[in-house]
C-alpha cells in the first residue's frame, strides 16, 4: 500500500529536549515536505526536499532542521523545542515529474506535538 508514515503520532515533551519526528514514504517520491497546522493558520510549510541531500527552507523554518540522506526518509529535528512549536505536524511527498509542481502531494497521518 502506497503511504507516508510518521512516528510518533503523539508526543509530549519539555522545553529544550531534542526530538526527532520520522517520516518515510514507499512511493519512490523525489519531493518531500514538512508542514505544521495551527488553529486559524492552516498548513504552513517548514522545510522541503527536492531529492536526496537537497533541502531548503519553507515559510516557517525557525527552530527546525531536516535531513535527506535516503530517498524514502525525511526526518524533522527539533534541537531545542519550545512551547511555540506545539502543533500538529504533517509530512508529505510527491513525484516531481519534469521538475514541475503539478503532482499531488500525499500526506502522512500527522504528529501531534506538545512542548511543555
Partner 1 sequence: DQQVKQNSPSLSVQEGRISILNCDYTNSMFDYFLWYKKYPAEGPTFLISISSIKDKNEDGRFTVFLNKSAKHLSLHIVPSQPGDSAVYFCAASEAGANSKLTFGKGITLSVRP
The Cα 66–Cα 12 span in angstroms is 20
Q: Is 52 in the site for partner 1 (CB under 8 A)?
A: no
Q: Is 1 in the site for partner 1 (CB under 8 A)?
A: no
Q: Is 110 in the site for partner 1 (CB under 8 A)?
A: yes
Q: Is 87 in the site for partner 1 (CB under 8 A)?
A: no
Which residues face 47 on adjacent strands?
34, 57
Nearest residue to 58 (alpha-carbon basis) of 76, 73, 70, 40:
76
Residues that bind partner 1 (CB under 8 A): 4, 31, 33, 35, 40-45, 48, 50, 56, 58, 90, 92, 94, 96, 99-110
Amino acid at each position: 500500500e502506497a503511504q507516508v508514515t510518521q512516528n510518533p503520532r503523539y508526543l509530549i515533551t519539555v522545553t529544550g529536549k531534542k526530538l526527532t519526528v520520522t517520516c518515510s514514504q514507499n512511493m519512490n517520491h523525489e519531493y518531500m515536505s514538512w508542514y505544521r497546522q495551527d488553529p486559524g493558520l492552516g498548513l504552513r510549510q517548514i522545510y522541503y526536499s527536492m531529492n536526496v541531500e537537497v533541502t531548503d527552507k519553507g515559510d516557517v523554518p525557525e527552530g527546525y532542521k531536516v535531513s535527506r540522506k535516503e530517498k524514502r526518509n525525511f526526518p524533522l529535528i527539533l534541537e531545542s523545542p519550545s512551547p511555540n512549536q506545539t502543533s500538529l505536524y504533517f509530512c508529505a511527498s510527491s513525484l516531481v515529474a519534469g521538475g514541475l509542481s503539478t503532482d499531488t502531494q500525499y500526506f502522512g497521518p500527522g504528529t501531534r506535538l506538545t512542548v511543555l
